[in-house]
Amino acid sequence: MDFEFQLTQSDGYCRVNFPAMACVCELLIDTTDPTLALSLGLRARTETWRIEQKFSRYRNDNLIAHINRAQGQAVTLDDETTGLIQFATEIWEASDGRFDITSGLLRKVWRFDGSDHLPDQTEIAALLPHIGWDRVDWQPPQLTLPAGMEIDLGGIGKEYAVDRVFALLQEDFDGALLVNFGGDLRAHGPRTDGSGWQVGVEKVAAGQSIEQLTLSQGALATSGDSQRFLLRDGVRYSHILDPRSGWPVADAPRSVTVIAPTCIQAGVFSTLALMMGAGAEDFLDEQGVKYWSVRA
Amino acid sequence: MTHLRFISRAVLLLAVAAGLSGCAGVKPWERDLLAKPQMALDSDPLQTAFDEHIYFSKEASSGGRGFGGGGCGCN
Amino acid sequence: MQLKDKQLGTRLALATTALLGIQGQVQAGDGDWLVSTAVLSYSESDGRVQAVEPVLNLTRDFGDERSLNLRLVYDSLTGSSPNGAARANVVQTFTSASAAGRKSRAEEEGDDDELEEYGDRGSYSIAPGDLPLDPSFQDSRTVFSAGWTQPLGDVYKLNLGGALSSEGDFSSISINAAIARDFNSKNTTVSLGTNLEFDTIKPEGGLPDAFSSYASHDTSAAEDTKQVADLMLGVTQVINRRWITQFNLGLSQSSGYQSDPYKILSVVDNGNLVADAANPGDYLYLFENRPEDRQKVSLYWQNKVAIGSDDVIDIGYRYMTDDWGVNSHTLDLTYHWQAGEHVYFEPHYRYYEQTAADFYKPYLVNGEDVSVYGLYVDPHISEASSDPRLAAFSANTYGLKVGFPMRQDEEISVRVEYYQQQDNNTAPAVPEGSDLYGQQQFSPLKASWVQVGYRFRW
C-alpha cells in the first residue's frame, strides 16, 4: 500500500480509506462536511492501527508475542484482552472445541499454497498435544499458557476492530455510517435521504454474481477463501482446519457470508459454518440467520 | 409521625445500597450470567402483571416493584 | 454434524454483549416484533369469582435503545362476590330498591336481557351459615397501554407511557414517565418515575350515600372520581458476576371516591341482626364508606442470584404501610431450574400478611358505630367497611411454572398457582344463641389460576 489515508467526497457522503489489517479499510460517513469526516476518519485509523498493533500475530513486540513466549508463566491481561479471551472461551465451549484460538500452530505443517503437499500424520500428531483450549489455565484476567502453546486472535480480530471502530464513530456521529474492513462490515442507517447502504454480496463463486443488499442496521462478515487450498488425488483440502483432529474439514463451502447484529457475531457464525463442512447450511438454517454460501 | 420515621429509615437504606457501588467492579466480560434472560429483574412481565392484578383485587397492598395503580374498579 | 448446544446464537449474543458492552440490531428489510401472548384462567373456590383474561403484548426495537411496547388486556369476570353483610344463623334476604324497580319494569316490558342481568340483584336470599354473596357479579374490563423508551443524551434513559382502562362502571386513564441514569460503568442504575391516574366511577343506579340503607339506595350523585399520584425512586446494583439487587422506595397518594359502591354492612345489636323498619321482614344493611385520602409508602427489595451456569434464585421482599392503618409484609421466592436446554421449572412460594385497616369492621354495632331509631339511622363514625381486602389476614401462594424455550425469543410456558388466606382477625364476642353466634366473619379466600403463554418473533 502506498498511501496512508484518503478522503473522498461523494454524492452526499464522505468516503475514508486507509490501509490496515492486510486490506483497505473503508468508512462511508453520511455527511457533507469533510472536516468532520476527516476527524472521524483519523480517529478510526488510530483505533484500527492500535488494535492491529496489539493483537497481530505477525509482530514480535506486542502482547500476543509476550503471551506466546511466556513459557508456562502466568500473564495478567488488561481489560480489553481479558474480554476478547473470555469471548473466545465462550465460543470454544459453545462450539464443542471447534473454535479454538490455540489452533494456529497447525499452520506450521499445513501450507495452503494450491500445491499437492500434504503433511504427514506424524507431523500433525506431534502438534496436537499443544493445541486445545482445555489445556490452558484461564483464570480471568490471568492466563497461563503451557510452554509450546500459542494463541492467535486472528479469527476474531478484524471483526472486533470493525465493531470497535463503529462504536467509536457512533460516540460522536449520529448519522448513517458504514465501516467496511475488506468485506467484514457494520452499518447504521438510514441515510438522511432515507436510503440504506448498498452492500454487494458474492452469491455464487468469486466475482461471478453479486447480490445487492440494502443494509440499514447490522453487520456482515465473510469467511473462507477460494484461493487457499490443497489439491491431491482429486480431493480438494480447504484451509479450514479442525483443531481436534488437525485435519481440514471435508466438504466445506468455499465461503460463507452471514448477517448478524454485530460484525463479531457474523464472523463467528460464518467461521463455525465452514467448520461444519457439509452441514454448513443446515447449521446456519438452524441458527435462523440470513446467509449466503458459495460452493462449487 | 411513624411515617416520617419510616421514610428516613428507607432513605438511609437507599444510601447504603448506593454506597455498595463503590466496591462493585463487575467487568463487562463478567456479565455473561447477568445477561441471561432468567437473570432479568422482571423476566416475565405478563406474569408479573397478572399476579399484581390478582393481588391488587384481593389484598390491601399494591405496587412496590412498579407503580401500584391498576386502573381497576375493584375498590 | 450438529452442535450439542443449539442455543449457540443466544450464547454468542450474550458473549458479544459482554465484549462490546452493547447489543447490536439487525435491520435488513422488514422489522421484527416480539409478540407475547398469554391467557389466564382464574377461579375462586365456593363458586366465587371466575375470570378469563387474554393478553397480547407487542414489543418492537427500533435500534439505538429505542423501543415501543403495546399491550391489550381483556378480562371477563363472572360469579359471586361477598356483599359485605355478616354471616348469620338466619336466612337473609337482600332486596335493592333500584334493582327491584328495574326488574319489575323489565318484567312489564318483557326485556329478557335486562331480567337476566338484574333478576338476581333485585332480590336474593342467603341460607343460614352461608357467606352472603351477591350472585350477580359480572363484568368485563379492557385495558390498552403503550410505552416508549429512548436514551436522553449520553447517560439518561427516558421512559414514557400511558394506559386506558374501561369497565362497565369504571374507567381509568393514566400517564407515566421515568428517567434512569447509569453510573459506575453500568453497575449502578438510579431511576425516578411518576405515574398519574384519573379514575371515574359510575355505578349502576348511582353512587349510594354513605351509611344509607341498601333497600332504599339513596343517591345524590351519579358518578365520582379518584386521582392517584405515584412517585418511585429505584436503585439497581450489580453486586458481582452472580448477584443483582434492586431497591425501590414508592410513595403513593390517592384522593377521591375510594369506597366500593356495592358493598354493605350489617347492623348488629347484641349479636342479633337489626330489622329494617322500612321493609318489614328484612334486615337493615348500610352502604359502606371509606376515607377520601390514602397515602402509602412501600419498600421493595429484590435479589437475583445465579446458581451454577443456568439456575437462578429470585428473592423479593416488600413492606407497605399506609395511613389507613394497613401494614403488610410480602416475601416472594422463585427458583429457576434449567433442567435442560429446552425445558426449565420454576417452583414459587409467596407469603403475605397484612393488618386490618382502622375502619375495617365485620359489621356495625348498634349504639356504638350507629344508632338506629326506627326509620332514622345516626352514624357515629365517618368510615366503615367490611371488605375482606381490608381485614387482617395472611396468605400463602404455591406455584409451579414449566417453560419450553425453543429458540431465541420463542417459548411456551404453563404455570399453576394456588392461593390461600388465613384469618388473623380477633372476632368480637357475641352472646350465645344470637344470630351471629359461632359464625366466622372473615371468610378466607382460596383461589387458583393457570396461565398459558407463548412468545415469538414476528
CB count, 10 Å around CB of C443? 18
Q: Give the separation between CA C60 and CA C50, rounded to whole angstroms.
A: 33
Shortest alpha-carbon distance between residue B42 and chain C (Å): 10
Residue A162 domain flag: yes
Same domain, A203 and A89: no
Contact list in B for residue A86 (CB cut-off 8 A) is 29, 32
Contact list in A for residue B29 (CB cut-off 8 A) is 82-83, 86-87, 140
Pairwise CB contact (< 8 Å): A87 & B28 = no
List the 8-67 stretch of B: residues with Cβ below 8 A of A: 27-30, 32
Stronger pLDDT, A159 or C153, i.e. the higher one: A159
Average pLDDT over residues C217-236: 93
Q: Give the separation between CA B53 and CA C51, rounded to whole angstroms.
A: 12
Pairwise CB contact (< 8 Å): A140 & B28 = no
The reply to whether C44 touches chain B by the CB within 8 Å rule is no
Confidence category of residue C201, pLDDT binned at 50, 70, 90: very high
CB C295 within 8 A of CB C322: yes
Would you say residue C266 has pLDDT above 50? yes
Indicate the residue of A262, A286, A287 with minimum beta-carbon distance to C16: A262
DSSP, res C118: H
Confidence category of residue C272, pLDDT binned at 50, 70, 90: very high
Q: Which chain A residue's Cα is nearest to C457?
A: A288
List C-alpha distances in Å: A262 to C14, C15, C263, C380: 12, 11, 59, 71
Q: What is the pLDDT of residue C447?
A: 97
C-alpha cell at C91: 336466612
Q: What is the CATH classification number for the domain harbouring A78?
A: 1.10.3980.10
CATH architecture of C36-81+138-457: Beta Barrel (2.40)
CB C447 within 8 A of CB C100: no
Indicate the residue of A218, A268, A277 with minimum beta-carbon distance to C24: A218
Same domain, A100 and A163: no
Same domain, A182 and A218: no
Same domain, A236 and A178: no
Contact list in B for residue C417 (CB cut-off 8 A) is 51
Contact list in C for residue A214 (CB cut-off 8 A) is 28-29
Residue A135 domain flag: yes
Q: Which chain A residue's Cα is nearest to C10?
A: A287
Contacts for C285 with CB less than 8 Å, ≥ 6 apart: C84, C85, C94, C213, C214, C215, C264, C265, C266, C267, C276
Pairwise CB contact (< 8 Å): A90 & B32 = yes
Output the pTM of the full model: 0.69
Indicate the residue of B39, B68, B73 with minimum beta-carbon distance to C252: B68
Same domain, A200 and A292: yes
List C-alpha distances in Å: C397 to C49, C177, C394: 18, 32, 10
Pairwise CB contact (< 8 Å): B30 & A140 = yes
Same domain, A144 and A165: no
Residue A141 domain flag: yes
Same domain, A103 and A170: no
Pairs across A and B, CB distance < 8 A: 13
Q: Give the separation between CA C299 and CA C316, rounded to whole angstroms.
A: 11
CB C417 within 8 A of CB C397: yes
Contact list in A for residue C1 (CB cut-off 8 A) is 276-279, 283
Shortest alpha-carbon distance between residue A140 and chain B (Å): 9
Stronger pLDDT, A230 or C370, i.e. the higher one: C370
List the 21-50 stretch of B: residues with Cβ below 8 A of C: 21, 24-26, 28-36, 38-41, 43-47, 49-50
Residue A32 domain flag: yes
Indicate the residue of B21, B58, B65 with minimum beta-carbon distance to C445: B58
Q: Which chain B residue's Cα is nearest to C344?
A: B38
List C-alpha distances in Å: B52 to B46, B67, B71, C32, C388: 10, 10, 12, 29, 18
Question: DSSP 3-state assignment of C449?
Answer: strand
Residue A1 domain flag: no
Q: What is the pLDDT of residues C15-31, one digit of tens each?
A: 888 888 765 555 544 34
Give the residue ranges of chain A where pLDDT is below 50.
1, 204, 206-208
Average pLDDT over residues C77-85: 91
Same domain, A218 and A98: no
Among C16, C20, C35, C40, most B C-beta atoms within 10 A, so best to mutate, is C40
Same domain, A122 and A255: no
Same domain, A26 and A107: no
Q: What is the pLDDT of residue B24?
A: 43
Among candidate residues A173, A195, A217, the one where a domain is terminated: A195
Stronger pLDDT, B35 or C198, i.e. the higher one: C198
Q: Which domain holds residue A276?
A: 196-296
Q: Give the separation between CA C281 and CA C276, rounded to whole angstroms.
A: 8
Average pLDDT over residues C137-142: 86
Q: What is the pLDDT of residues C96-112, one digit of tens each?
A: 665 666 666 666 777 67
Pairwise CB contact (< 8 Å): A265 & C13 = yes
> Which residue in C356, C305, C303 sits closest to C327, CA to CA?
C356
Shortest alpha-carbon distance between residue C40 and chain B (Å): 8
Range scoring the smallest mean pLDDT among B64-73, C15-24, C263-272 = B64-73
Would you say residue C397 has pLDDT above 50? yes
Q: What is the pLDDT of residue A57?
A: 83
Residue A187 domain flag: yes
Burial class of residue C78 (count of CB atoms within 10 Å of its CB; 0-12, 13-18, 19+): middle
Q: What is the pLDDT of residue B22?
A: 41
Q: What is the pLDDT of residue C215?
A: 85
Would you say residue C401 has pLDDT above 70? yes
Indicate the residue of A87, A217, A287 with minimum beta-carbon distance to C25: A217
Alpha helices in chain A (DSSP H): 34-55, 63-68, 79-94, 121-127, 154-172, 263-275, 280-287
Contact list in A for residue B32 (CB cut-off 8 A) is 86, 90
Q: What is the pLDDT of residue A195?
A: 77
Q: Give the separation between CA A265 and CA A260, rounded to whole angstroms.
A: 6
Among C232, C262, C307, C425, most B C-beta atoms within 10 A, so best to mutate, is C232
Pairwise CB contact (< 8 Å): A79 & B27 = yes
Domain count, chain A: 3
Confidence category of residue B68, pLDDT binned at 50, 70, 90: low
Same domain, A101 and A21: no
Among C7, C14, C20, most A C-beta atoms within 10 A, so best to mutate, is C20
Q: What is the CATH classification number for the domain harbouring A270?
A: 3.10.520.10
Indicate the residue of C5, C15, C27 with minimum beta-carbon distance to A217: C27
What are the beta bridge partners of residue A222? Answer: A257
Q: What is the pLDDT of residues A219-247, one digit of tens each?
A: 999 888 656 677 777 777 777 888 988 88
Same domain, A134 and A273: no
List C-alpha distances in Å: C184 to C39, C67, C158, C187: 40, 24, 19, 5
Q: What is the pLDDT of residue C104?
A: 66
Contact list in C for residue B8 (CB cut-off 8 A) is none
Burial class of residue B8 (count of CB atoms within 10 Å of its CB; 0-12, 13-18, 19+): exposed
Interface of A to C at Cβ within 8 Å reads 83-84, 86-87, 90-91, 93-96, 160, 163-164, 167, 186, 188-189, 213-219, 259-262, 264-265, 268-269, 272, 276-279, 282-283, 286-290
Contacts for C224 with CB less than 8 Å, ≥ 6 apart: C200, C201, C207, C256, C257
